[in-house]
Amino acid sequence: MVRLGIDQIGERESLFKGKRIGLITNYSGVDSRLIDDTTCFMEAGLNVCKLFTPEHGLYGAMDGASVTDSVHPKYKIPMISLYGGKLKPDTEDLQDLDLLVYDIQDVGMRYYTYIYTLANCMMAAGEAGLPLMVLDRPDPLGDTVSGNRMNPAYDCFVGAHQLATRYGLTAGEVGRYFKHHLDLDIDYQVIPMKGYYSSMKWPKTGQLWNLPSPSIHTFHSALCYVGGCFFEATNISEGRGTAAPFQIYGAPFVNMDDLFAVLKERIHDPNLAFRTRAFTPFWSKHQGKTCFGVEFILLSDELDFMPTALVLMKTLLDMYPDQFEFRSYADVSRLTSLSGDTSCDDYLQGKISLKELMESWDAQAGEFEEEVRPFRLYSKEDPNQ
């Protein structure tokens, strides 16, 4: 089993002893025994003075819900929300602290917000002269890099800092990239994992699935989040409020048999099977209404769901031009915010082919992969084999 950063605090006690610690975490911050990190620190006799929480708070508020400051019910520690009134700690928040520690499970996709909480905390720590340490965790999707780089003109809290869509880095490695890319003057450290190699996907880690947010129920949900998240920019349900988010897609106006017939002609991926599926979300889009569409069943951990997600979106747009709708967010096209630039729109409008789109994105992914090479912490393959 991979040993996480949090698993090693006992043997790294000198890094924490006698310091007033601000812990940046949520419900995903558990050790290999599934004991939450706050308890791990407390039982080790270490002084956690404040907790900082990202989107969803400490306990898993629904997507996009604002979270207020509160107090930890067991340890009576102030809990400061970084997804509500503010996204970055202020000077007062960091007073009387000696160290910030980040311990949150990520999913390896640019539009997942936890890494921007990390970046913001690194900026705040640098300004305050505080060191920041990451207790490292796996990238569930391994070290595969794919997709385009975020265009700075569209930077927002679901995409920034010229990251590739699937960036193939652990949180500790992302922080090393941020330090360089943002030119941060900060004492930045990582407690790396033991027994981890970068091409390892989640099932190989030996770790139990660690629910990172309310709609990433399983490793398969995380794999289909690659591209499936783009449907947040539409009125098509991406399966939130069902048992299989990002594996089920549809809407009340879709004829699932017609959709399935067209997709059978357009999707030929040996790593994937799909079927017609009716479903009723109990929250989110089309809550309480029967939706008709398709369900995807993964046949391999090597699946790249991005091309399938794009073909599905274009197919639905082609079939239902009068009912398919895009949504905006913060005065910017939500699809642009999620996809990083306007090239996805160009594909959906028929201005470029899927092949041209993917070739352009592959070139940008290659550029990013080369740029982050110095910030990697792990061997690509198991050195013991």
Least confident of 146-155, 252-261, 301-310, 323-332: 323-332
Angle subtended at Cα 233 by Cα 272 and Cα 162, rounded to the nearest 5 degrees: 85
DSSP state of 151: P
Instruction: Categorise residue 55: left if φ over 0, alpha if ψ from -120 to 50, beta otherwise.
Output: beta
Give the pLDDT of residue 385: 64
Q: What's the whole-model pTM score?
A: 0.96
219-341 and 6-212+369-375 share a CATH fold: no
Distance, CA of 94 to CA of 100 (rounded, Å): 9
Least confident of 46-60, 230-244, 321-335: 321-335
Mean pLDDT on 73-96: 94
Q: Where are the alpha helices (DSSP H) in the chain?
A: 37-43, 91-94, 114-128, 171-181, 219-228, 256-266, 306-319, 334-339, 343-348, 354-372
Read off the pLDDT band of 196 (50, 70, 90).
very high
pLDDT score of 60 more than 80:
no
In whole numbers, what is the pLDDT of the chain averaged over residues?
95
Distance, CA of 363 to CA of 149 (rounded, Å): 10
Mean pLDDT on 14-37: 97
Give the pLDDT of residue 174: 98
Mean pLDDT on 94-102: 97
DSSP-based three-state secondary structure for 219: helix
Q: Look up residue 300 and give its two tokens.
A: 């391999």
Distance, CA of 179 to CA of 304 (rounded, Å): 29
The CATH code that applies to domain 6-212+369-375 is: 3.40.50.12170
User: CA nearest 348: which of 225, 221, 226, 234?
Assistant: 234
Does domain 219-341 fall under CATH 3.30.1330.40? My reply is no
Give 24 or 58, the one with higher predicted confidence.
24
Distance, CA of 137 to CA of 4 (rounded, Å): 6
CB atoms within 10 A of CB 355: 10
Read off the pLDDT band of 49 (50, 70, 90).
very high
Mean pLDDT on 159-181: 98
Burial 167-200 (b: 16+ CB within 10 A, else e): bbbbbbbbbbbbbebeebebebebbbbeebbbeb
DSSP state of 172: H
What are the extents of the domains in the chain? 6-212+369-375, 219-341
- Tallying the residues shown for the chain, one arrives at 385
DSSP state of 52: E
